Amino acid sequence: MDAVGPYTVSFSPLGDRVVCSGDETVLAAILRAGAKVVFGCRGGGCGACKMRLVSGLVDYGRCSSAVLPEEEKAAGWFLSCQARPLSDLEVELTAANKYRRLSAAYWPTFG
């Protein structure tokens, strides 16, 4: 796949945004921006980093069907450690994601 972008990924309900190049996963962009979320194996096998897409398109990457079955994909779920954006994205964070801004490094990329 040709890397295109960069795209903007925005997170509701906080409104935080990160820039994500087309060849970067959503999780990698979040961590690079200085924020933190729950993730596990980073290989698409455990499902700990699952997030819900409100709008936009992703390349799902290689995910275990045991943790991300087709019906969950259809309902908007994706694994942030595998998914790469194909457009700007709006992602709804849940309590399970435990999203938090960790470091001062976050602020320059915010807004």
Partner 1 sequence: MPYRISRLGTVEIRSLDLDRDLDYYVNVLGLQLTAREGKTAYLKGWDERHAYSLVLTEADRAGMVRLAFRTVDPEDLDYYESRLRKFTVKYDVIPEDYRRGRALRFTAPSGHVVELYNEMDYTGNVLPTVNPAPWPEGLKGIAPPRLDHTLVTAPDPPKAIQFFQEVLEFRVSEMLVNPEGVPIAAWLWQRPSPHDIAIVPGRAGGFHHAAFAVDSAEALFRAADILTMHKARIDYGPGRHGITRGTTIYFFDPSGNRLETFGGYTAYQMDPDCRAIKWTTDQIGPAVFYYSQELNETFLSVYT
Residue 62 in contact with partner 1, rule: CB under 8 A: yes
Residue 48 in contact with partner 1, rule: CB under 8 A: yes
Residue 67 in contact with partner 1, rule: CB under 8 A: yes
Distances, alpha carbon 70 to alpha carbons 8, 66, 77, 108, in Å = 25, 10, 9, 37
**Residue placing its CB nearer to partner 1 in the complex, 81 or 91:** 81
Among 5, 6, 34, 45, binds partner 1 (CB under 8 A): 45
Whole-angstrom Cα distance, residue 96 to residue 19? 23
**Residue placing its CB nearer to partner 1 in the complex, 57 or 98:** 98
Give the nearest distance from C-beta 25 to partner 1 in angstroms.
12
* Pure H helices in the chain: 26-32, 70-74
Among 7, 20, 44, 80, binds partner 1 (CB under 8 A): 44
55 residue type, one letter: S
Whole-angstrom Cα distance, residue 55 to residue 42? 23
